[in-house]
Amino acid sequence: MANRELLSTSYSSKKHDVFLSFRGEDTRIGFTSHLYDALNHKSIKTYIDYLLNRGEDVWPTLAEAIEDSHVSIVVFSENYASSKWCLEELVKILECRRKVVHGQVVIPVFYKTDPSHIRNQSGSYEKAFAKHERDLGNSESDDSKQKVLNWKAALTEAANISGWDSKTHKDESDLIENVVNDVLQKLQLRYPNELEGIVGSENFSGVVETLMTSIQILGIWGMGGMGKTTIAKVLFAKFFAQYDHVCFANAKEYSLSKLLSELLKEEISPSNVVGSTFHMRRLRSKKVFIILDNVDSLDQFEYLCRDFGDQSNDSRLIITTRDRQLLSERVHRIYEVKQWEDLESLELFSLEAFKQSLPQKGYEDLSQRAVAYAGGIPLALKVLGSNLRSKGTDFWESTFRKLDKFPKEEIQKVLKVSYDGLDPLEKKIFLDIAFFFKGEKKDHVIRILNACGLEASSGIEVLEDKALITISNGNRIQMHDLLKKMGSDIMRKECGINPATHTRLSGSEALEVIKENKVREQETKSFFKIIFQIERP
């Protein structure tokens, strides 16, 4: 798990999935172009040098593209070795393969050529090297001799890597299908499975895979910072290879026309999609996989959700959101992303803070305090861990003291998105619950807030749908401690640091303000409304 977590960033930061190395005059028109199209059809980002003009100034671009790829496909053909460019590419590819960490995956394709000719530099490969040696014959430099030796060693090494031989396939389309599927499998291994390392629960993978096989439209719901987007990305990486048309769309960045353009691999005008089901009907016989991530309003995607049931039974639509009401009657099942258990939380925090799965000696108790503060929210665990990394115990102690009054901005910013989406009445109800009613009976709270002129029944339901509160089995209102702290932070930013100017106070702050008579007369009415002894039912 630790290795997956630590390596995830470097794996996913590469620009290309695949680099294609091939001899243009042999396979550019035909096999390689068909392979390139097939890779693109599966949304595999592939680098090909069609547009490059050969020249010395081009090599840095090619070398960078090779280094910035997860996988290299080397198409060995009859005249591959006659190209010095191809041989230089191969040397660079194998250099990347030999890296101890993040070594590149190399997939050889032996296209109408015998692997033994490549391995032993015989046949056409022997003739190619005879020419290279003649061309370099005028140069007695050690560099020229070493270059030829490097080329030969690279061919031998590459030919010994397990690959695909065109002679063992009935036709080129069969060969291409196998190569593409091989690439997909290799890429899934290159992108670490984050389900345990980032998302949390040990049985999560099994649960979600079961849902994916049986549920056509799935909603993923939970409060901010719980890893809904990460879950969606993992699902997409795990399953997209099984589908004909796929799209992962951040709902805030994608229009319906952009989504359809990506699905169909063609330009779709916005004027041609409003209210029309034509383009989705084109896909009914296909396996389609769509993820709508970070949805707070369906708007133009409404018809997509409504009519998705008409797609193939093998098609899948996943929606991630903080708003459960948005999923109502639109999805077949809702998966709730819940808070992490303490052991999982400690492991993730330790990975961030110490780059290992357990706390360092001397930091055990402090790490438990961090886990308690985060309350099972992955975002909070990661932010705290990264901020405390490589710091001494005094710094940790000081940080915890500050967190009691001033929550981390990176955490609050994410959590506050749901609060910002509330109307003014719902915001008041949220703040009243944050200050006074955590743990109280729902019916009792509704009576009190209704008496204060608030429509509490509908407001509390909205807060629950947006994962800002939960209702326990005992019908009591519960709120995460970080959301409660967010309420205090909102009050402080709206009213200033001085508690005497706040419209809501609770606990020792309220008693201190009243005791010292710091409340101005015109502010007293608000305190009559909010400071009282709650009679418990």
- Which of these, 69, 113, 122, 119, lies nearest to 92 by C-alpha position? 69
Q: Are 459 and 429 in contact (CB under 8 A)?
A: yes
Q: Is 89 considered catalytic here?
A: yes
Give me 394's structure tokens: 């005094």
Half-sphere exposure (Cβ direction) of 486: Cα atoms closer than 13 Å = 25
DSSP H or E stretch at residue 229: helix 228-239
- Which of these, 348, 112, 325, lies nearest to 219 by C-alpha position? 325
d(CA 286, CA 301): 20
d(CA 302, CA 294): 15
d(CA 238, CA 200): 17
- Which of these, 129, 136, 131, lies nearest to 151 by C-alpha position? 129
d(CA 200, CA 242): 25
d(CA 222, CA 321): 7
Facing residues of 221 across strands?
321, 336
Give me 434's structure tokens: 């944050």
Q: Of 5, 78, 89, 194, which is the active-site residue? A: 89
The values of phi and psi at residue 425, to 5°, are -65, -45
Give me 132's structure tokens: 């290279």
Half-sphere exposure (Cβ direction) of 154: Cα atoms closer than 13 Å = 25
Q: Are 88 and 155 in contact (CB under 8 A)?
A: no
Facing residues of 16 across strands?
69
Q: Are 341 and 203 in contact (CB under 8 A)?
A: no
Catalytic residues: 89
